[in-house]
Homo-oligomer: A and B are copies of this chain.
Amino acid sequence: MSDKTETARLEAFCDGVFAIAITLLILEIKIPPVGSLHTVHDFWLHLLEDWPSWFGFSLSFIIILVSWVNHHNIFKIINKSSPQFTYANGFMLFTIVVLPFSTRLMSGYFTTALAQPAITVYCFSILLHNISWILFERTSMRSASLFKDKASRDMFAKAVYMPSRIAFLFYFSLCVLSFWLPFISMSLMTASWVYWIFTAIHIDPKKNESGQ
């Protein structure tokens, strides 16, 4: 079998799950029931008051998109597979599929008295996703043979190993912080992803491989 086809179907399956998870997010945003609103002013007010749904939708959209871009970039330098690697991919998909749930929970309770536990759950779901990336890296690093060549492996080690560990410490701290200062936690979380996107857009393509 050629190198190209070995991971092609794994990538296609992952693409499918990423694409569906990112699109399902919109289903969580409800329209106001017809008859519940009476004036144009009420209508706009309702849409404005629903901003946490849009905030959650946008943040999770960005997270899944960035995760897909990273996944995509890594497969430019990985062209073989192993059972462990396949299941590590499966675990990453698990953490992606969970995101529509934690987004719904966080958005739904954001402006209520129970915002703290909902935000904590969201932070933990992001931490879990980060852990899945570390597992993904470990299984791909275990043997050099998944990579196209030794140079790819070295680049991967440098670009992914440290950043993903730093991200782990960061998201773990956010989880702990969220018990006392949930909104600070959420602001830092948001800032980290906006920062990530801006960085990604301003670097040159060759350095874009990263493991989040």
User: Which A112-148 residues sit within 8 Å CB-CB of chain B?
Assistant: 112-114, 116-118, 121
Provide the residues of chain B in CB contact with A26, threshold 8 Å: 21, 24, 97-98, 100-101
For the complex formed by this chain, how many copies does it contain in all? 4
Are B22 and A19 in contact (CB-based, < 8 A)?
Answer: no
Are B24 and A197 in contact (CB-based, < 8 A)?
Answer: no
Are A104 and B65 in contact (CB-based, < 8 A)?
Answer: no
Encode contact with B along A99-114: 1 for CB under 8 Å, 0 otherwise: 0110011001100111
Provide the residues of chain B in CB contact with A113, threshold 8 Å: 38
> A9 with B9: in contact, given A31-B101, A65-B90 (CB under 8 Å)?
no
A109 to chain B, nearest CB (A): 6
CA distance A104 to B113 in the complex (A): 30
